Chain A
Amino acid sequence: MLVLEKNAMTEEIELLVHKYGKLRSSLLPILQDIQRKHNSIPDFAQQEVARLLDIHPVEVFSVISFYSFLNTEPKGKNIVRLCQTITCDMAGKTGVAKALERELGIKFGETTKDNKFTLEYVNCLGMCDQGPALLVNERVYPKVTPERAVQIIGEVK
């Protein structure tokens, strides 16, 4: 990380700590905001959060590693999550999964070379009556067909 980037990151985290309060209970909202903006929480950000909240960096890492929507390694700009739970599975998840893999040229758990897309499975999205469900960033798409899935990722490019 460049010094300039580091300074910008520190400033950003200071603002977040100010917004949510210097409390341990602010940890998750702060991490969620960093994650939303940068698609990951890099080492330096973890250290800064720890310093500003006065807790050990290991605590911060331990929390990040627990939650599936937080990650330390960079991911793609858009995160495409396909529901793998039973009703979406019965409604045709596998076909959608294969279409996405073919179209993006990556497997689930991987990121495209241009860093535009990360493909992941997710557990129940609560759209069981309208499966298969696809979550692209924060937006949910119900009743996705293989063709429609490819069209959706075309739209967010």
Chain B
Amino acid sequence: MEKKERKGAVLFSAYKRGDGIKKVLAKSREDVLLDIRESKLKGRGGAGFPTATKWMMVAAANSETKYIICNADEGEPGTFKDRVLLLEYPELVFDGMVIAAYIIGAKNGIVYLRGEYEYLKKSLEDYLESMRKDNLLGQNILSKKGFDFDITIRMGSGAYVCGEETALIESLEGSRGEARNRPPFPVTTGYMGHPTTVNNVETLASIPHIVSKGGEWFKKNGTDKSTGSKLFSVSGDCRKPGVYELPWGTKISDLLKIVEAEDSKAVQVGGASGFCIPKSQFNRTLAYEDAATGGSIIIFNESRNMLHILKNFMEFFVEESCGQCTPCRIGNVKLLEGIRMIEKGEYTFNYMNQLKDLGRTMQVASKCGLGQSSPNSFISILENFKDEIFNGNGGNNGK
């Protein structure tokens, strides 16, 4: 796979390896943190927690040992932006980790790379080695006395739930990837019980740009509550699928034009755990305050059977639920059974409404983000496409 020339306002703008680190080392930690706070950068994994706040908490934690973890376990169906960043822009991700380490005072960084991306591991390790040669990693980085930091790469083994930060930490500690109760949060009690910040690949990749060009520059793109730009992984029924960098606040209808999608019936925003947005709402904007997403955009055209799509999503969740808490373990199975009933035409509306209620219960009662978000597509697809799903034809719509 060769490196493509990509264009974008923030992430895909010009950057030379090490520049951000040099800038940061000349300043105090507090000033750098203020710059990042100024940018109002929020976590790009989907949850949207302010990055500066997270780092402030870890920086303030009183501990000799701290960790910075890069969450490269992107498993959300329809997401592949992290693959592109790691393959084509490793300098952004790793410089971001070094800068984070300087701010919070960590000596160790870990990249948790999903098992499916094992083919990226070799090139990433070679890249880290070249950074060590240039003194961007290791002891006294860029001759800054006492600033020691190194990065190791750890592999996942095919578990979607490990993208959840506490499950990821459990996995790193050598256990089953089952989410922990929170609090305590990883910022105080993370990897091996030490203060830890877990950040998405894209969040870290934004950092070198922010520290070298300033928070004000970053805010030029996007909306008031969602600053900067976002990488969107676009797939499905369109002529130009791929990764696009667009400012937050882009309308769904505009995105569809850019990727040359025609005849679109619905857009799944945020992957299987996101929401299905019907044609009538294509004027909604992609932003934390409206249609929030970790970047996954899947486009469906008029020929697609929405019940079949929903079944695919629910099969995914039944397989990937870790089974630790009851709402998620049993709930997803029940929702999938409901879809099979509709397929066969053996359902009652009363029971379907009960299932939607069950979904809403799962949203509040599940332990981690997986079970809290898995009913989203069930509820949004059944409500937005009830005419074609409950037509007594197994959702086939005559197609």
Contact = CB atoms under 8 A, between A and B. Distances in A.
Interface string A15-30: 0000000011111110
Nearest to A137: B118
A135 B116 contact: yes
Nearest to A27: B174
Contact of B312 (A67, A89, A126): A89
Given A89-B312, A128-B298, A66 B119 contact: no
A80 to B, nearest CB: 14
Interface string B67-110: 00000001111111011000000000000000000000000000
Given A25-B174, A62-B176, A66-B159, A126 B192 contact: no
Interface stretch (A4-12, A100-108, A117-125, A147-155): A117-125
A24 B304 contact: no
A112 interface: no
How big is chain A's contact interface, by range? 35 or more
A25 B233 CA distance: 33
Interface residues of B, number: 52
A129 B119 contact: no
Given A63-B174, A123-B75, A126-B74, A86 B118 contact: no
B117 A126 contact: yes
Nearest to B114: A126
Contacts of A127: 80
Given A125-B116, A126-B79, A69 B158 contact: yes
Contacts of A78: none
Nearest to A129: B241
A139 interface: yes
Contacts of A26: 174
Given A87-B235, A138-B118, A128 B157 contact: no
Contacts of B137: none
B316 interface: yes
Nearest to A142: B1
Nearest to B320: A123
B378 interface: no
Nearest to A93: B312
Given A28-B154, A69-B157, A125-B116, A86 B173 contact: no
Given A29-B155, A32-B157, A126 B80 contact: yes
Contacts of A131: 235
A63 B77 contact: no
Interface string B155-170: 1111110000000000
A87 B298 contact: yes
B354 to A, nearest CB: 26
Contact of A25 (B76, B115, B155, B172): B172
Interface string B226-243: 000000011111000111
A90 interface: yes
A120 to B, nearest CB: 10
B175 interface: yes
Interface string A61-93: 011001111100000000000001111011000
B313 interface: yes
A136 to B, nearest CB: 11
A52 interface: no
Contacts of A122: 116, 158
B119 A138 contact: yes
Contact of B236 (A32, A66, A87): A87
Contacts of B197: none
B319 interface: yes
A85 B115 contact: no
Nearest to B309: A86
B177 interface: yes
Residue among A27, A85, A128, A130 having the largest count of chain B Cβ atoms under 10 Å: A128
A126 B83 contact: yes
A129 B116 CA distance: 16
Most buried by A among B157, B236, B304: B157
Contacts of A29: 154-155
B206 interface: no
Nearest to B240: A129
A128 B268 CA distance: 13
B199 to A, nearest CB: 19
B243 to A, nearest CB: 8
A31 to B, nearest CB: 8
Interface of A: 23-29, 31-32, 35, 62-63, 66-70, 84-87, 89-90, 122-131, 135, 138-140
29 contacts: A24-B175, A25-B174, A27-B175, A28-B154, A28-B172, A28-B174, A32-B115, A35-B157, A63-B175, A66-B159, A66-B178, A67-B156, A68-B158, A84-B312, A86-B272, A86-B312, A89-B312, A90-B304, A122-B116, A123-B316, A124-B116, A125-B116, A126-B74, A126-B82, A126-B117, A127-B80, A128-B236, A129-B233, A129-B235
Given A31-B157, A32-B157, 17 more contacts: A23-B174, A25-B172, A25-B173, A29-B154, A32-B115, A62-B176, A63-B176, A67-B115, A122-B116, A126-B79, A126-B80, A127-B80, A128-B78, A128-B241, A129-B234, A129-B242, A140-B116
